[in-house]
Structure 1
Amino acid sequence: MSQAMPSQTPDLDLIRDALSTSTLSHALKLIGDRWTMQILMGAFTGIKRFDDFQTHLNIPRRTLSERLKALVHMDMLRPRLYQERPERYAYHLTDKGMALYEATLMTWEWEQRFGDNRLGLPTRLVHKTCGHGFWPEMICGTCREPVVVRDLELELRPNPRLPHDSGAPMRTPKISTGDAAISHLGLRMDRWTLMIITAATLGCRYFDQITHVLRISPPLLSRRLAAMVEAGLMSVAPDREDGRRRVYLLSPSGRAMFPYIALLSTWASEHHFHEPSSIHPYHKACGAAFLPRATCGHCHERLHAWDVSFERGEPV
């Protein structure tokens, strides 16, 4: 069964089944937290040693150790001994880890557009091939035209070969409120936040609809929606036809998370699960199945980590 999305009356059961068997949902159970994403972002900017990760990311040693072990287990990082007494390891990106570069670039792009650079991310990227500073853009791999979410039609076909996600995360990290920059990154990289954005993209606008399709507890959903509204990722207003209900809509910054979501889902399909996702986007302009790629906004060639230099930023 399939259905084009979004529609005026979304098929909530179909959306629920598609989301629960999506490569996105399963990938976010593995790497859907801020610490894992910060470690990967650090690795792409040249950080390799345990102490350097801890210094630059201000991450607790136990948490860092756990995340590094998980990334090694997933074959995204490979430890290399650089000191014998005591044993110390550097962590290098594998081919599988490097393949996540395009999704990571879209996180950088979002931060430059909507963030405040308190994370100390690179302030400028240079594409070595063309020699120009650039902004990454998501394109259609078939026609090579830039694409945003409104350019796509999303068809849902639950994948029976991927198990249904029960909705319960492996861990539900608390969104810290101590540091605004870290708090906002934790919210954006949070599994539930990204799944809520995806559900909204598929046409779910009401609290009960989101609860149904994500099988998320109402108290947890209330907290996430409130945080997303406060962070400007969503807006909320009374429903025009029923003032007792509230309508949740994605803001421009919320919709701008879609390139990261699309590229993460594609990475999970191609490099981890080796299965098609249950969410099938089609590019309206060319009619082809949409395969997202991140390219240089200047020369429009596909981007690779080894072909990009950067100027490291300092937290402000």
Structure 2
Amino acid sequence: MDLLGDQWTLLVMREAFAGVRRFDRFQAELGIARNTLTERLDRLTGAGLLDRVRYQDRPARYEYPLTDMGRDFFPVLAAIIRWGDQWLADESGPPRLLRHVDCGESTSAVVDCADCGGAMTAENVVMEPGPGLSL
């Protein structure tokens, strides 16, 4: 499945993390066509990242809150935001800031080793076949 293969999917997830839950708000925030948004929301709910909860019967309207699986996607999105801020932002600065609620500071994602806490980079990490790899 090509779940995250386009910009709209990542932007829908970004808005979900910003607290957007309703179709019309997603559409207003993103300027996305209704059919494209419907397809992305269907894809994200089908994959388990968003839930679909009815909040009105007539007409039927739904909210799309993050699931546990969706909330667990945050570090991935934060890393993509950090990369975009470093390589794609213009001179006016990044379009969104991540503020750590616990300390109040603006921050960015880092990837550290879960065992020793050291920074993980392309230069100091190797990928090896894991037990789930079948040839």
TM-score by length of 1: 0.39
Equivalents in 1 of 2:99, 2:36: separation in Å?
A: 32
**2: distance between equivalents of 1:94 and 1:121?**
25
1:41 to 14, 34, 37: 14
Aligned residue in 1 for 2:38:
65
- In structure 2, the partner of 1:212 is none
8 Å CA contact 2:99–2:105 kept in 1: the answer is yes
Amino acid at match of 1:77: L
CA displacement at 1:78 relative to structure 2: 0.8
- Divergent runs of 4+, >4 A: none
RMSD value over aligned CA atoms? 2.2
Higher relative contact order (CA 8 A, sep 6+): 1
How far 1:83 moved relative to its partner? 2.2
Aligned counterparts of 2:126 and 2:59: Cα–Cα separation in 1:
55
Which structure: greater strand fraction?
1
- In the TM superposition, 1:222-237 aligns within 5 A as none
For the 8 Å contact 1:47–1:53, the answer to whether it is kept is yes
Task: Report the residue type matching 1:159 in the other structure.
Answer: L
- Which residues in structure 2 correspond to 1:1-316 (within 5 Å)? 29-116=2-89, 121-122=95-96, 124-156=97-129, 159-160=133-134
8 Å Cα contact 2:79/2:108 also seen in 1: no
TM-score (norm 2): 0.85
1:84 deviation in Å? 2.2
Aligned length: 132
CA distance in 2, matches of 1:153, 1:81: 45
Percent identity between matched residues is 32
Q: Distance in 2 between matches of 1:113 and 1:73?
A: 32
Q: Distance in 2 between matches of 1:50 and 1:79?
A: 11
Structure 1: unaligned runs, 5 residues or longer: 1-25, 165-316
Query: Partners in 2 of 1:125 and 1:67 — Cα distance?
Result: 24
Q: Is the 8 A contact 1:77 1:92 kept in 2?
A: yes
Considering fraction of residues, name the structure with more helix. Answer: 1
Mapped contact 2:78–2:108 kept (Cα < 8 A): no
Distance in structure 1 (CA, Å) of the matches to 2:127 and 2:46: 33
1:205-241 deviations in Å (ceiling 9; x for gaps)? xxxxxxxxxxxxxxxxxxxxxxxxxxxxxxxxxxxxx
Q: 1:135 to 1:31 in 2, by over 3 A?
A: closer
Structure 2: tracts of 5 or more residues without a match? none
